[in-house]
Amino acid sequence: MSTEAVLTAFTGIAALALLLQGLALWGIRNSLRTVSSRVETVTGDIQKKFESVATGLTELLAILKPLAQNLETIEHHVAATTETVHKRVADLDSFLEDTTDAARLQVAKIQDLVDTMSNRVEETFDFLQRGVRAPVTELSALIRGIKVGLDFFMRGRRKPTRPSHQDEEMFI
C-alpha cells in the first residue's frame, strides 16, 4: 500500500475518531446539562427548605428570646426567694435554740422549786411529828396513866384480865 492510501486511511480513522469523540462530548454535555438542571432543581428545593427552616428558627429564636429573659427574671426571683427562706430558717433555728434554752432554764427552776417544796414539806412533817405528835402522844400516855391511877385508887386493884381468854370467847 502506498503512503497516500495509508495516510488517507489514518486521516479517515482520525476523522472518525474525532467524530466519535465529538459525539461522545455532545452526549456528555447533554448528560451534564440534565444533571446540572437536576442539581439546580434539588438545590432550589434544598434552598427553599433551608429558607423555611431558617424562618422557623428565626421565629423560634424570637419566641425563645423573651422566654430566656423571663428565665433570667425567674432565676433572679428564685435566688432572692432562696436567700429569704435561708434567712428565715436561720432566724427560726436561732429562735428555737433560744426558746429551748429558756425552756431548759425554766424546767431547772421548776425542778429546784419542787425539790425545795419537797424538802420543806418533809421538814414540816418532821416538825409536826416532833412538835405536835410527840407531845400529844406524851399527853395521851400521861392521861392514860392518870386514868389508870385513878381507877386503881377508886376501885382498888384491878384484876388482870387475860386478853387471850377474851379473844377465845369472841372466836367461839
Residue 150 half-sphere exposure, CB side, CA atoms within 13 Å? 6
Asked whether the beta carbons of 133 and 126 are under 8 A apart, the reply is no
The overall average pLDDT reported for the chain is 86
Domain coordinates in residue numbering, the chain:
3-153
H/E segment holding residue 6: helix 3-128
Closest CA to 55 of 47, 44, 43: 47
Asked whether the beta carbons of 91 and 85 are under 8 A apart, the reply is no
Tens of pLDDT, residues 37-47? 999 999 989 99
Q: What residue ranges in the chain does DSSP mark as E strands?
A: none
Q: For residues 117-139, give the mean pLDDT.
A: 84
What DSSP character marks residue 161?
A: P
What DSSP character marks residue 1?
A: -
Tens of pLDDT, residues 62-78? 888 888 888 888 888 89
Residue 13, Cα to own-chain centre: how many angstroms? Answer: 96
The pLDDT value recorded for residue 171 is 60
Spatial separation of the C-alpha atoms in residues 98 and 81, rounded to whole Å: 25
Residue 75 half-sphere exposure, CB side, CA atoms within 13 Å? 6
- Decide if pLDDT at 160 tops 80: no
The set of cell numbers assigned to 140 is: 395521851
* pTM of the entire predicted model: 0.38
